[in-house]
Amino acid sequence: MLAHGAKPDKLESFEVSIALSLVAPDISDTPEAVQFLSMLCQLPDGLHMWEERLPIIGTGFQDVYFLFSLLHDAALVFTEGSWLKVLSPIRHFVTQNHPASDSHTEELEEYFWSLVHKYANKEPVPGFVDAVGILEPDMGNISILVTKAIQSHPSPQIVEIILEVSQFLFWTHPSTHLLDEFKVSVKKIGTSIQEAKMLQCLGNILCSQGKYAEASKALRDAQEQFIKNGHPLGAAQCLRNLGNILHMQGKYTEASEAFTEAQEQFINIGNSLGVAQCSQSLGDILHMQDKYTEASEALMEAQKHFIKIGEPLGAAQCSQSLGEVLRMQSKYTEASEALIKAQKNFIKIGDPLGAAQCSRSLSNILHMQGKHIEASEALTEAQEQFIKIGHPLGAAQCLYDLGNIMCMQGKYTEASKALTEAQEQFINIGDPLGAAQCSYSLGNILHMQGKYTEASEALTEAQAHFIRIGEPLGAAQCTQSLCNILCMQGKYTEASEALTKAQEHFIKIGEPLGAAQCSRSLGDILHMQCKYTEASEALTEAQKQFIKIGDPLGAAQCSQILGKILYMQGKYTEAFEALKEVQEQFIRICHPLGAAQCLQTLGNILHLQHKYTEASEALTEAQEQFIKIEHPLGAAQCSQSLGEILHMQGKQAVVSIDSMDT
C-alpha cells in the first residue's frame, strides 16, 4: 500500500499496529499469549475481578499472570479498577484473525455457566444481594457467550442457561430481550418442558411490566404445555400467576377462583410454598374488597407459613400487604412501621421491586397525612427506583399518585398534565385499569374546577372503560362522583336515586366501603336539603358501617357532618362539643384536612356566638393548617370568615361610640 503512495486510514493504521504488536519478539516467542488474548476477546465487557479470576478461566495455560504481563506491556490489554479489558478495535481484529480455540471457549463457558447455575436463584433469598453483585456485571459477557453457543453448538444445556438468566432478570431488571431473541431457538433445540418454562418466564416478566394481555396468553400457553407433559407443578404455578393478573385487573371473583383452584393443586402435589403463596394472594383480594379483618387474618396466617418453611420473600410480602391494610384503616403509624420493616427485608434479600413498592406505599401515607411536599418528594424518588429497575408500571403508578396529590393541592393544571402523561404510559404498557383510573381522576379535577358538564362527560367515559374491562368497583365510584356533581348542581333527587343504585351495586359486588360511602353521601344530601332528622339517621347508620369494616376515617367524617347538622340547627353547644371530639379523632388518625375543617367550623360557631377573639384565633389557626397542607380553598374560606369578624367588630365599635355620644 505504501509502495503505491496511498496513505492508510486511521483504522488500517491501527490494524497494522496491532499486527506488529502480535509479531513482536516477546509475544511471538510465547504462542500462548495470542491464544490467551483470543480468549479474553470473547468477553466484550472485560474480565471482572480479574486478579482472582485469571487462573480460574485460564486453567489451560501454563502461567496466566506471565501472559497477562506480556500482553499488558505490549498495550494489548489494560486494567480499569477491578476490570481487565481489551480495546474494541483490538478485540475485533483478534477475533477476526486469531479466533479462540474450541477448548478455550469451553473453559470460558464452563466458568460462566457455573456462575449462572450458582447465583441465578429463582427468587430473592438471603445471599441474593451478593448474587446480584457477582452476576450483574457479567450479564453482557454471558449474553454474548450464549449467542455464540447457540450458533456453534446448540443444546438443551444452553436453553437452561437462557431460562435461568431470564429468571434472574425478572427479579432485578425485568426484560424479555433474551427470551425474545432465542424464542425460536428454544423451540428447536429445547425440550418440551423447557419450552413451557420459557413461556412461563415470559408471561411472568410481561405481567411485571403491566402487559397483561400478552402475559395471560403466554401463561395459558405454558399451562397447556405443562399439563400436556405431565408437569402439575408448572401448571399450578401458571394458574396462580393468571390469578395475579386477574387480581391486578380488579377481577376479584375470578382471581379468587383461580387462587383457590391453584391452592388445591399445590396441596395435591405437596408444594407448601405454592399453598402459602395462594393464601397470601387470597388475603390481598380480601384487602381489596375492604374486608380488612379477614384480610389481616389470612395474611398473618400466610406469613407464619412462609416463616415456617424458611421463605423470607413471602414473609416480607405479607408484611407489605399488612401495612397496606393498616393504611386503608387509617392506622398510619402502624402501617408505616410494617412497611418500613418489609422494605428493610426486601433490601436485605435483594428485591428492589418490593423495596420500591414499599417506598410508594409510604409516600401515600404521607399524602393521607396531608404531608404533600414530603409525599411528592418520596414518590418522585420511588418513581426513579422503578425506572432504574425497568418497571414501567410502578413508574406510571407513581406519576398517577403525584397527579392526585397536585389535585389535593389545588394545582389542577399540573395535576391534569401529570395524569394525562400517566394515562399515556398505562396505555403504552397495556394497563387499561390504570388508564381508566386516570380518566376518573381527570373527571374529578373538572368537577373541582366547577366544569360540571365536562366532568360528567369524562366520568361517564371513565365509567364505560371500567365496565368494558370488567371493573365494577371503578364503575360504581364513577357513579358516586357523578352523583356528587348532581348535588353541586342542586339536583338532589336525581343524585339520591343514582347514589341508591350505586350503593346497591357496591353491596352486590361485595364492596362494603363503597356502600358505606354512598350512605354517607345520601346523609349529606339530606343535610343539604335541611332534612336534619333523616340525615342524622342515615349518617349514624353509615358511621356504624365504617366502624364495622374498620375505617376510622369514614366514621370520623360521618361524625363531622353530624356536628355540622347540630350547627345548622342552632345547637351550638352540642355542635361545638361534637366537632371538638371529631377534631381530636382526625388528629389521632393523622388526617390534618379533617382536623382543619373541624377547627374552621368551630371558629364559625364562636363567631355566631359573638366570641370574636376566640373565633379569630380558631380561624387563624385553621387557615395556617390549610396553608401548611396546601389546601387553598379552606384557607380562602377562613380569610373570608376572618374578614366578616373584623366587619362585625367594626360595627360594634361604631355602636359603642354612638351610645357614648348619646
Of the two residues 83 and 655, the one the predictor is more confident about is 83
Kind and range of the H or E run holding 257: helix 252-269
| pLDDT for 305 beyond 50 | yes
6 pLDDT tier (thresholds 50, 70, 90): very low
Task: Identify which of 502, 504, 445, 501 has the alpha carbon closest to the alpha carbon of residue 474.
Answer: 502
**Least confident span in 90-99, 109-118, 170-179, 595-604:** 170-179
Question: Identity (one letter) of the amino acid at 386?
Answer: F
- CB proximity list for 300: less than 8 A, separation 6 or greater: 318, 322
What CA–CA distance (Å, rounded) separates 390 from 249? 21
CA contacts within 13 A on the Cβ side of 513? 17
661 pLDDT tier (thresholds 50, 70, 90): low
What rounded mean pLDDT belongs to the chain? 88
Q: Tell me the mean pLDDT in the region 12-31.
A: 78
Q: Tell me the mean pLDDT in the region 441-456.
A: 89
- How far, in whole angstroms, is CA 251 from its chain's centroid? 19
**Least confident span in 52-56, 481-485, 526-530, 655-659:** 655-659
Tell me how far CA of residue 55 lies from CA of 58, 65, 89, 194, 445, in angstroms.
5, 8, 25, 34, 65
What residues does 79 pair with on adjacent strands?
Answer: 84
Provide the pLDDT for residue 338. 94
Tell me if 418 sits within 8 A of 399, measured CB to CB.
yes
Cα-based torsion angle of the residue sequence 231, 233, 234, 240 in order, rounded to the nearest 10 degrees: 140
Tell me how far CA of residue 4 lies from CA of 1, 9, 11, 491, in angstroms.
5, 14, 19, 95
What CA–CA distance (Å, rounded) separates 430 from 248? 12
Tell me if 78 sits within 8 A of 43, measured CB to CB.
no
Provide the pLDDT for residue 133. 81
Domain 158-389 of CATH type 1.25.40.10: yes
State the sign of the Cα–Cα–Cα–Cα dihedral 648, 649, 651, 656. positive
φ, ψ of residue 445 in degrees (nearest 5): -65, -45
What CA–CA distance (Å, rounded) separates 591 from 599? 13
| pLDDT for 46 beyond 70 | yes
Tell me if 470 sits within 8 A of 458, measured CB to CB.
no
- Please write the tens of the pLDDT for every residue from 235-266: 999 999 999 999 887 788 899 999 999 999 99
- Please write the tens of the pLDDT for every residue from 124-160: 666 677 777 888 899 999 999 999 999 888 889 999 9
Terminus-to-terminus CA distance in the chain, angstroms? 121
Q: Tell me the mean pLDDT in the region 347-362.
A: 91
Tell me how far CA of residue 220 lies from CA of 205, 216, 237, 258, 617, in angstroms.
14, 6, 11, 12, 65
Tell me if 375 sits within 8 A of 405, measured CB to CB.
yes
What CA–CA distance (Å, rounded) separates 643 from 635? 12
274 pLDDT tier (thresholds 50, 70, 90): very high
Q: Tell me the mean pLDDT in the region 567-574.
A: 92
267 pLDDT tier (thresholds 50, 70, 90): very high
Q: Burial of 282 by CB count in 10 Å (0-12 exposed, 13-18 middle, 19+ buried)?
A: buried
Q: How many CB atoms lie within 10 A of CB 506?
A: 25
Here the cell at position 637 is 374560606
Q: How many CB atoms lie within 10 A of CB 5?
A: 6
Here the cell at position 164 is 435461568
CA contacts within 13 A on the Cβ side of 314? 24
- Please write the tens of the pLDDT for every residue from 534-558: 999 999 999 999 888 878 888 999 9
What CA–CA distance (Å, rounded) separates 618 from 637? 13
627 pLDDT tier (thresholds 50, 70, 90): confident
| pLDDT for 460 beyond 70 | yes
What CA–CA distance (Å, rounded) separates 598 from 584? 9
Cα 327–329–332 angle (5° rounding)?
Answer: 45
| pLDDT for 499 beyond 80 | yes
Residue identified by cell 371513565 is 462
Residue identified by cell 418497571 is 391
Provide the pLDDT for residue 7. 47
What residues does 84 pair with on adjacent strands?
Answer: 47, 79
| pLDDT for 52 beyond 80 | yes
How long, in residues, is the chain? 662
Tell me how far CA of residue 253 lies from CA of 240, 296, 500, in angstroms.
14, 19, 23
State the sign of the Cα–Cα–Cα–Cα dihedral 100, 106, 110, 112. positive
Task: Identify which of 417, 427, 354 has the alpha carbon closest to the alpha carbon of residue 391.
Answer: 354
CATH number given to 571-662: 1.25.40.10
Q: How many CB atoms lie within 10 A of CB 548?
A: 12
Q: Is the pTM of this model over 0.75?
A: no
Q: Tell me the mean pLDDT in the region 316-341.
A: 91
Provide the pLDDT for residue 123. 66
Tell me if 480 sits within 8 A of 495, measured CB to CB.
no
Question: Identity (one letter) of the amino acid at 426?
Answer: F
**Least confident span in 272-276, 328-332, 560-564:** 328-332
Of the two residues 479 and 560, the one the predictor is more confident about is 560
- Please write the tens of the pLDDT for every residue from 167-215: 888 877 778 888 888 888 888 888 999 999 999 999 999 888 778 889 9
| pLDDT for 84 beyond 80 | yes
Percent above pLDDT 90 for the chain: 55
What CA–CA distance (Å, rounded) separates 102 from 111? 14
What is the three-class DSSP state of 649?
helix
